[in-house]
Amino acid sequence: MDLRETDEQQLLRESVAALAGRFGSEYFLAKAKSGEKTTELWAEAGKAGYLGVAVPPEYGGGGAGMVELAIVAEEIATAGCPLLLIVVSPAIVATVIATSGTPAQKERWLPGFADGSLRMSFAITEPDAGSNSHRITTTARRDPDGGWRLSGHKYYISGVDETDATLVVARMEDAASGTLRPAMFVVPRDTPGVSYQPIDMAIVSPERQFTLFFDDAPLPADALVGGEEAGLSALFAGLNPERITVAAYSNGLARYALGRGVAYAKDRDVWGTPIGAHQAIAHPLAAAHIDVELARMATTRAAFLYDAGDRGAGDAANIAKYAAAEAAIKAVDAAVQAHGGNGMSLEYGVGALIGAVRAARIAPVSREMVLNHVAQHALGLPKSY
């Protein structure tokens, strides 16, 4: 594996950075404080083809892979505009439909993902299920008049108020055995019986979290993604891309924070000396930089293995997500500390990152569940839960 980026990948990174840099953290924070959405940034990134870089070319996408989508997610976050919906819509949902959808579903949905004109949320989490997807209670039953009826609720679902539909993980009855098995359904936001409520969060972001309710919501037969046999394979198709792009998102936030911390350490003078000359300031920033660079390498490796279809991509994706979340927390902490009291002021742009990077240690899979995965699958230790 050659860790050097190709000329095309370098150009993609530079181009995305230039576009996102025209918006910047001031734009992002202003949108967050006003309750508005980052519609302009999303639209320009979509028009330029960045959001659809991993969508197959026959549907209008760039035909690249997770390496390129991770570059997009990282560079937009590095500019101070971390777009969580990149993780959800292009990475999870578009990948699931591209790999597991029926031909008709691909024709219907993928062109919109390719140009950014379509956005979907992803709903798997439930209050009583936690990380155990086998305890999901949202259920789809067959409607005698055709199609499906969806009942249940989901928790901590990103961007429901600004997406066109949600890809919902539910359980449907197996006609042969009578048991319930996982399945995914595309649920348009305006479907009768669907409602949602915002969750008040400590994170400063235009992208909000919601509880979703399904009250016997009617769905057409073709809302079931990939047909009745897709099941877990369709679900798992989106989980590694999710972890990889969360890692890229975290790496970008870390780089942004370090950039602000280093700039402040160079400019802030105490008794005629820049504070960055003191090891108490320089060493935490340097150590955080090392951790971030290691996390970026882990993320690139995970994306490379995923694109190559390597069986080790699952372990690598979890490792990258873990490493990037921890490195981002360390980077933001170092940047805040370098700023002193100014680190907690919104004016300096680092204190507002504390909640965002801390959340990446918890979601989409907690640090503890990543450690369980690595212990069991990479080290061969007995399952602990």
- Domains in the chain (CATH in brackets) are 7-118 (1.10.540.10), 122-229 (2.40.110.10), 232-378 (1.20.140.10)
Contact between 167 and 184 under an 8 Å Cβ cutoff? The reply is yes
Q: In 3D, which of 324, 320, 293 has the Cα closest to residue 306?
A: 320
Question: CA angle at residue 313 from 310 to 315, to 5 degrees?
Answer: 135
Contact between 207 and 158 under an 8 Å Cβ cutoff? The reply is yes
Tens-digit pLDDT profile for residues 95-124: 999 999 999 999 999 999 999 999 999 999
- The DSSP bridge pattern shows strands 180-188 and 165-173 to be antiparallel
Alpha helices (runs of H) in the chain, residue ranges in sequence order: 7-21, 24-34, 39-47, 66-78, 84-86, 94-100, 103-115, 231-267, 279-307, 313-339, 353-362, 367-373
Per-residue pLDDT at 231 exceeds 80: no
Mean pLDDT across 130-152? 87
Question: Is the preceding peptide bond at 364 cis, omega within 30 degrees of 0?
Answer: yes
Q: Backbone phi, then psi, for 176, in 5-degree steps? A: -80, -45
Tens-digit pLDDT profile for residues 337-362: 999 999 999 889 899 999 999 999 99
**Amino acid identity at 374:** V
Lowest mean pLDDT among 55-64, 110-119, 121-130, 375-384: 121-130
- Within 10 angstroms of residue 345's Cβ, the number of other Cβ atoms is 12
Q: Which residues contact 32 (CB under 8 A, 6 or more apart)?
A: 204, 205, 206
